[in-house]
């Protein structure tokens, strides 16, 4: 049976869950921005956002007392959050290469 989160851990669980969403979104945004505008500080900020995401997942795992397969789900989530923006970026580049290469009419 699933045990509910202790009342003293409820707010920690709530805020760490919200921080996971915000850190994941900022990582994806900063990663894409670092690809468009290759400035090293943007890429560093993206990885700092990912570090915040990892810490938030660790805190959520501790506060919600995840055990067994829930730990595996947390690990898969962290790995997925890392590789999803990279895969989406490559997908966008591959599907929009025709938009970036000039046609023979545009060369004239």
Contact 49, 26 (CB under 8 A): yes
Contact 28, 36 (CB under 8 A): no
Domain coordinates of the chain in residue numbers?
7-107
SS3 for 80?
helix
Q: Which residues have a Cβ under 8 Å from the Cβ of 52 and sit 6 or more positions away?
A: 19, 23
pLDDT (tens digit per residue) in 52-105: 999 999 999 999 888 899 999 999 999 999 999 999 999 988 888 776 666 556
pLDDT > 90 fraction of the chain, expressed in percent and rounded: 69
- Residue whose token pair is 């959050």: 81
User: Model-level pTM?
Assistant: 0.81
pLDDT > 70 fraction of the chain, expressed in percent and rounded: 86
| Overall average pLDDT of the 24-45 stretch | 95
Angle between helices 40-63 and 69-95 (to 10 degrees): 150
């Amino acid at each position: 049976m699933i045990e509910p989160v202790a009342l003293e851990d409820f707010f920690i669980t709530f805020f760490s869950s919200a921080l996971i969403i915000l850190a994941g979104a900022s990582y994806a945004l900063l990663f894409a921005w670092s690809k468009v505008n290759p400035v090293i500080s943007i890429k560093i900020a993206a990885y700092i956002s990912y570090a915040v995401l990892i810490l938030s997942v660790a805190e959520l795992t501790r506060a919600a007392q995840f055990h067994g397969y829930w730990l595996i789900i947390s690990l898969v989530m962290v790995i997925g959050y890392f590789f999803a923006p990279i895969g989406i970026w490559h997908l966008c580049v591959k599907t929009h290469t025709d938009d970036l290469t000039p046609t023979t009419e545009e060369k004239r």
